[in-house]
Structure 1
């Protein structure tokens, strides 16, 4: 894709799933990649895969809910690669299943801290570095949950609605600074998160499939393609957009 080669990309939640595939895809397109996650071994493995394939990558651990960690992550990215051009703010968790009336505040807050506050903190420290480069692009991972509602995962739905709002607000704040901010809204994707959510139960997976008009679950690499497109010059007139990649999930 245009405008990706030779640039620096930071991907959070990059040890597995969508983040992993996005990091690999940025590298395939010629970007230098910072792979970031709280899972050190898995994250280092992703960075190693990129380097073994001839790319340029480094693993940096960070908890996106911790402001000091995020500030350090962005500073170290610039120290290692000389700048920052793209960011995929992807780190997230599904949280504990439970009704609003029965949910502990700590469980609710943890999901908000990682899935929503983590995106805020990431952009807070990324945007000044993008300005130093004369512009760039950010893609935040929201979800089709940000366009719908559902029982027993109120914290997750609330956070993903919030990510879309943050994305739109940030896009307007930096629209004249040559920085584009978009969100990708995956449907049900075959990732470790879905495996945890269904606990390997085939009936639970079948239930998820019923909501996918395309007749299958999505693949992480399909979301990665959308993320890299949104960062590329091919999407130069796209900002503030919640891009749905869901096999038709939200259409009915």
Structure 2
């Protein structure tokens, strides 16, 4: 990733206690960023913040529930208190929700998934945009999914929410591109994170090794991805190296969306 530099950039990363969020935050630290990480687990966030600082950046953290408007506002206020503004946001918090057929899917589960996967991003973007407009620029990356592009059975709320994330990105970019603010959607493919655990239950009764073997066979490159491989793409999109990329959905998926596996 030659040319990717985040030196001094002020960045918020949500869903940062594990997986893609944690990996991306540490990568951003290695590129010189000041990173405020958020998730519900304070203990895990402390470790991520320490890793950011150790990598060469400045790591800060705030335990926050991304389903809570109050917590999201507290997160942006902390960034403003620390650094006087925000240059970048990686809105990565998300959940898969339960698996159930459409007629049986509960409204409570639907609301929870939509709140975490979509509403949290909407509120966070609303909070950071005025400052970005005032300072004359910024970059926002929202985590979508293969389900932003494809349907899948038994997960209606997840698929709906991830389609909507892509709509949120396009709607926002259409308004703020004139202010030099870029908004893009990162589409992770099958990435080896805790979000694969529900799949393991469904595919192989919780056997992760057996699940990974099956999933590897679904990817044109022959393996699931690592959190770091998706994290590097997030860092690139937040950096000036991606300064002419806007309103796009960009996949780190080993070819799944673009290549039919024979």
Measured against the shorter chain, the TM-score band is over 0.9
Which one of the candidate residues 115, 118, 128 is aligned to 2:117? Answer: 115
Q: Distance in 2 between matches of 1:26 and 1:149?
A: 32
Could you tell me whether the CA contact under 8 Å between 2:35 and 2:60 is conserved in 1? yes
Residue aligning to 1:11:
13
Query: Which runs of no fewer than 5 residues in structure 1 stay unpaired?
Result: none
Correspondence 1:221 to 2:223: no
Contact 1:84 1:133 in 2 (8 A): no
The total of aligned residue pairs comes to 252
Query: Residue by residue, what CA displacement relative to the aligned partner does 1:98-128 show, whole Å, maximum 9, x if unpaired?
Result: 1111111111111111001111111111111
SS of equivalent to 2:186: strand
Structure 2 gaps, min length 5: 201-205
Counterpart of 2:104 in 1: which secondary structure? coil
Structure 1 segments, 4+ long, off by >4 Å, are: none
Aligned residue in 1 for 2:203: none
What's the TM-score, normalizing by structure 1?
0.96
Instruction: For 2:19 and 2:207, locate their aligned partners in 1 and report how far apart those are by CA, in whole Å.
Output: 16
Counterparts in 2 of 1:121-200, with a 5 A limit?
121-198=123-200, 199-200=206-207
Per-residue Cα deviation, 1:25-75 (whole angstroms, up to 9, x for no partner)? 110000101011111111111102222344311111222221111111101
| Local SS of the residue matching 1:174 | helix
Match in the other structure for 1:241? 248
Mean CA deviation greater in 53-62 or 171-180: 53-62
2:28 to 9, 19, 26: 26
Point out the more displaced range, 43-52 or 155-164: 43-52
- Distance in 2 between the 1:55 and 1:4 partners? 9
Asked whether the equivalents of residues 32 and 56 of structure 2 are also in contact (C-alpha less than 8 Å), the reply is no
Q: 1:31 to 1:201 in 2, by over 3 A?
A: closer
Shift of 1:206: 2.8
Match for residue 218 of structure 2? 211
Any conservation in 2 of the 1:137–1:231 contact (CA below 8 Å)? Answer: yes
Q: How far apart are residue 196 of structure 1 and its match?
A: 4.1
Instruction: Tell whether the 8 Å contact from 1:88 to 1:139 is kept in structure 2 after alignment.
Output: yes
The answer to whether the 8 Å contact 1:168/1:181 transfers is: yes
Q: TM-score, normalised to structure 2's length?
A: 0.92
Instruction: Give, in angstroms, the shift of residue 208 of structure 1.
Output: 2.1
The DSSP-based 3-state class of the residue aligned with 2:102 is: coil
Indicate conservation of the 8 Å contact 2:88/2:139, yes or no. yes
Shift of 1:2: 4.6
